[in-house]
Amino acid sequence: MPVGALRHRVTFQTVTSEPDGHGGTIDVWIDLAPPTWDVSITPATVRDLEREAASTIVASATHVIVGRYRGDVTIECRMLFEGREFRITGVKNADERGIEMFLFAKETI
C-alpha cells in the first residue's frame, strides 16, 4: 500500500481492568504502542461486507480500515480518530503475511 494512501492518523486502544480502591475493578482504555498509526478509513459498502462475509469476518461494520499490519489490534480494541470512536468488529491479516491488515469497525455514537 502506498504511504500516501494512509492519510488518517488514528490511535488504537485496548481495555484493561484496574482496582477502583473499593475492592472492585474498573475498565480503563490504554493506548497501544506506538500511540498513533496511519491508516485509510472508508465507509463500508454492501460489496465490502458481502465479500468478507464468506470468511465470517464481518459481524457489523460501518467502516473499513486498511493499514500496515499490527498483531496487537484485535476485536477487543477500539480506534480513535479526530474525536470519533470505532469499535473493531473484524480483523483480517491480508494474505496471512503480516504486512497489511483490514479492519472492520462500527462507529459508536
**Domain hosting residue 9, numbered range:** 3-108
Instruction: Look up residue 3 and give its amino acid.
Output: V
CATH code assigned at 67: 2.40.10.270
pTM: 0.82
DSSP bridge partners of 18: 26
> What is each CA distance from 24 to 20, 27, 59, in whole angstroms?
6, 10, 32
Nearest to 31 by CA among 69, 66, 79, 96: 79
- pLDDT tens-digit series, residues 67-95: 999 999 999 999 999 999 999 999 999 88
Whether the Cβ atoms of residue 52 and residue 73 lie closer than 8 Å to each other: no
Q: Quick one: pLDDT at residue 49? A: 59
- pLDDT tens-digit series, residues 10-67: 999 999 999 999 999 999 999 999 989 999 999 987 666 555 555 555 557 899 999 9
> What is each CA distance from 93 to 24, 48, 66, 67, in whole angstroms?
36, 16, 10, 10
Count of structural domains within the chain: 1
Whether the Cβ atoms of residue 12 and residue 37 lie closer than 8 Å to each other: yes
